[in-house]
Amino acid sequence: MKTVTLSLIALLLILVSCNHISSKKADQQTAVPKPLQDDIDDYSIKKSRGDNLLQDIYADQVGKQPELQNLENLMKHFYDGLPDSLKSFQVYDNKSNAYYRSTNDALNNVQDTVLRDRLRALINESKHKYLDTIKRFSTLMAHIDSNKIKIEDYHTVLKIVTTLPIIETYQYKNLPDIKSVANLANEAQRLKAKTIQLANKH
């Protein structure tokens, strides 16, 4: 009876230990972002040779952090709305600039130099008035362009500072066992020596 009890206790301890190890492995697996999980690595390589791991890890974090998700939504809204918001002014401005280019081309056909110079002065005065008319638009467009550069720069900074600790944690926790590489290095050394020996013999 005592032997049976001890056996049952031993079996129970083994089962608990196995469950603990399994759950620990599961926790570690879920803690590792999908782009870094070994079981999808081959799939990722097949999917695209040009995969960007920085983007993939960041996208994984966006799905986990509401703060990042909110920022990405705001950025999408901004960039999606940009073309429509600027379209009417850009069409207006393009037509105006196209007109002034056309008048300059037309001036080249005027043979009377005095008349040509008067026309050029008239056109230049008109263009300066136009530039003054759109001054507020030009200032706002310059601000938009300047802010876009900053947005893109700091978006890149955000991606790097978000993902760098993750890849460093992965590197620390998932360093492979060196044994197989060391064995292969030893095999290469022996094979080299054997090859040299046979080459010198012949």
pLDDT of 157 above 80: yes
pLDDT of residue 39: 62
pLDDT of 89 above 70: yes
pLDDT of residue 63: 94
Alpha carbon distance 47, 34 (integer Å): 14
Tens-place pLDDT, residues 33-87: 788 886 654 544 445 444 699 999 999 999 999 999 999 999 999 999 999 999 9
Average confidence score pLDDT of the chain = 84
Read off the tokens for 56: 């993939």
pLDDT (mean) for 146-161 = 97
Instruction: Supply φ then ψ for residue 50, to 5 degrees.
Output: -100, 20
pLDDT of residue 33: 79
pLDDT of residue 58: 96
Q: How confident is the model at residue 154 (pLDDT cuts 50, 70, 90)?
A: very high
Whether 140 contacts 146, CB under 8 Å: no
pLDDT of residue 42: 53
pLDDT above 90 as % of the chain: 69
**What contacts 68, CB < 8 A, 6 or more positions away?**
58, 61, 62, 158, 162
Most confident stretch, 5-9, 38-42, 111-115: 111-115
Burial (Cβ within 10 Å: 0-12, 13-18, ≥19) of residue 33: buried
Residue 18 CA neighbour count, 13 Å, CB half: 6
pLDDT (mean) for 174-201 = 92
Q: What is the 3-state secondary structure (H, E, C) of the chain?
A: CHHHHHHHHHHHHHHHHHHHHHHHHHHHHHHCCHHHCHHHHHHHHHHCCCCCHHHHHHHHHHCCCHHHHHHHHHHHHHHHHHHHHHHHHHHHHHHHHHHHHHHHHHHCCCCCHHHHHHHHHHHHHHHHHHHHHCHHHHHHHHHHHHHHHHHHHHHHHHHHHHHHHHHHHHHHHCCCCCHHHHHHHHHHHHHHHHHHHHHHHC
Lowest mean pLDDT among 28-42, 128-142, 157-171: 28-42
What is the separation of C-alpha 68 from the centre of its chain, rounded to a whole number of angstroms? 14
More confident call, 41 vs 101:
101
**How far separated are the first and last CA of the chain, in Å rounded?**
74
